[in-house]
Amino acid sequence: MTTGPASDVGSGSSVERAFATALTPRRERTRERLLDAAYTVFAQHGIRGASIEAVCEAAGFTRGAFYSNFSSKEELFLALAERAMRRQLVALESITKNLEPEVVRCGAVNPDAISTILSVMTPDAGDARQWTLMRAELELLAMRDPEVGRPFLAQEQMIRTELGSAIEGILDDFGLRFTIDQRTAVDLLLGAYESSARVAVTASQVQEEDGDAVPGTAVLSQLVNLLVTTAD
């Protein structure tokens, strides 16, 4: 399943290892090129079908450069997913600064504001399809292999915590709050998003070639208004 030893995927060399180490500018550029190449290779062949050699070739590096940054394909994908999440958080914080003051209308969140915010979190059709497929593949690996499952669950917890804090800060800026505890609200929102993403990808396969693989926002918009209210 992995090219490197399975034990290397564990907590001793998890995604945090790379971020805990002070990276030189050169090494940081190397990591970025490997991550960019990995997305292209994973999108074409899937995580299991892709080889470390193919990622290295696409990035223009040797296997030594790969193993000085990552211990396995799974760790590389987790780092890729974390990078995407952090970029989305930056974009989310940026776009909310430019929202119109009338975010709350008639005691509910303005649907236009919800659509604007969700547009940041929803990639285009091709990108949405690739991310959904790659994530589903890694999730299946995580369920089957505890050495993949441990770092996968750790990253899931980290993402939900950081996303929850970011969303709660945004709500507070607009005089809003969750109607339930933050973690449950985030779990419900992410669950709805991931479910709609899987449906969109499946539907795009049985429709015309130009079928839309972007997750729908209608359910998420309704869910937001169930989970968010004006602050007392």
| DSSP per-residue codes, 116-173 | HHHHHHS--HHHHHHHHHHHHHHHHHHHH-HHHHHHHHHHHHHHHHHHHHHHHHHHHH
Helix (H, G, I), strand (E, B) or coil at 230: strand
CA atoms of 167 and 190, how far apart (whole Å): 12
User: Which pLDDT belongs to residue 18?
Assistant: 47
Tokens of 141: 């690996």
Say if CB 154 and CB 11 are below 8 A apart.
Answer: yes
CA atoms of 155 and 188, how far apart (whole Å): 17
Q: What is the value of pTM for the model shown?
A: 0.72
User: Which pLDDT belongs to residue 16?
Assistant: 47
Where is 178: in which H helix or E strand? strand 176-178
Give 10-residue mean pLDDT values along the chain (232 residues).
36 46 78 93 88 94 93 90 85 76 63 68 71 88 91 91 87 85 92 85 68 67 84 72
For residues 44, 49, 52, 53, the Cα torsion angle rounded to the nearest 10 degrees is: -80
Show the domains of the chain with their CATH numbers.
6-230 (1.10.357.10)
Query: At residue 108, what are phi and psi to the nearest 5 degrees?
Result: -125, 160
Tokens of 155: 């990253």
User: Which pLDDT belongs to residue 193?
Assistant: 85
